[in-house]
A = this chain, B = another copy of it.
Amino acid sequence: MSEAGIVRDLANATVTVVGLGLMGGSLAAALSTRRVCRRVLGVARRRVTWEMARDLRFIDQGTIDLAQGMAEADIVVLAMPVGEILAALGEIGPWLRPGCLVMDVGSTKRAICAAMDALPPAVQPLGGHPMCGKETSGLSVAEPTLYQDRIFVLAPLPRTSPEALDLGRSLVTGIGARPVVLDAERHDRAVAAISHLPYLLAVSLVNAVGELAHADPVCWQLAAGGFRDTSRVASSDLQMMRDILASNREPVLQAAEQAQAQLGELARCLREDDMPALLALLRAAHDRRAEVVR
């Protein structure tokens, strides 16, 4: 590659993944297993983590030194919780090579893309958010197939060049995911509805049953698939979710308000014994879900 331009050939690129948890570890694993790029470097907080990633052949080399991890990178992917990504973006600017593509896998995009906008002009920023994940976290559950066939949102900034977006797209398809290009604002509104609202409802469910169970703990004994599935995402990583909610406040509040209105309307129909209206709401949800969940 030329010293100043962006690398055009992903196969020749050195990719540094910062954060070797579920998302970063799986990304490194997919890049390595599928031989997407020339080299995969890993940056972890602890030596034992990158050593494990190296032993798993997810990365070629590792370091606990962020500056060192940036030094040879053609592409950097920040794969930490949103708060840590924001902190890292404030630090790495001076260490990045000119032409370096800086991506991330954070769950919200406005705050991150705003921080990316402050990177040095010679660097290409590109927000990213793969629509996958689990309630479990850490390198031990990482797997090269995590991204397979999943949507991977790419959120270019106004300053992002078409070449940089193309390179990001190649990386996404290289790991088996499907790129969808969206600006940060649209992305954040959409995930507030489709991802952060389910989380708030799952948390509300568990805490509501907790309150109701004070009167009679037997209800926990009757928990079956309905409770288990509806509450599943309440087991998500706490730091990650706090960061996500804090960095997407307004869209999340709007989604929560909409859900409260819907729940209130169901309760109103039931209270007033308006069974036709209740059934219409149940049917709308039933039919809609059949349309949208494959």
Q: Footprint of B on A, CB under 8 Å?
A: 131-134, 150-151, 153, 180, 182, 186-187, 189-195, 197-213, 215-216, 218-236, 238, 241-242, 245-246, 249, 252-264, 266-267, 270-271, 273, 275, 278-279, 281-286, 288-290, 292-293
Contacts and interface: CB of A to CB of B under 8 A. Distances in A.
Nearest to A283: B238
Copies of this chain, how many?
2
Given A190-B219, A238-B286, A253-B270, 5 more contacts: A150-B224, A208-B258, A230-B232, A231-B289, A238-B283
A233 B230 contact: yes
A212 B242 contact: no
Contact of A208 (B209, B253, B255, B275): B255
> Which 3 A-B residue pairs are closest in the complex by CB-CB distance?
A190-B219, A198-B230, A206-B285
B230 A262 contact: no
Interface of A is mostly: helix
A222 B186 CA distance: 11
A170 to B, nearest CB: 21
A195 to B, nearest CB: 5
A198 B151 CA distance: 27
A245 B278 contact: yes
A231 to B, nearest CB: 6
Contact of A270 (B206, B235, B252, B284): B252
B151 A205 contact: no
B203 A282 contact: yes
26 contacts: A131-B222, A131-B224, A151-B221, A193-B208, A193-B219, A195-B224, A198-B229, A201-B230, A203-B262, A203-B282, A204-B266, A207-B262, A207-B284, A207-B285, A207-B288, A210-B284, A230-B232, A231-B293, A234-B285, A235-B286, A238-B283, A238-B286, A242-B279, A245-B278, A249-B271, A263-B263
A100 B284 CA distance: 42
A60 to B, nearest CB: 30
A216 B204 contact: no
B225 A132 contact: yes
Contacts of A201: 201, 204-205, 230, 263
A206 B289 contact: yes
B234 A286 contact: yes
Nearest to A187: B222
Contacts of A234: 282, 285-286, 289
A213 B232 contact: no
A249 B268 CA distance: 11
Contacts of A257: 267
A243 to B, nearest CB: 10
Nearest to A228: B293
Given A223-B194, A226-B195, A238 B282 contact: yes
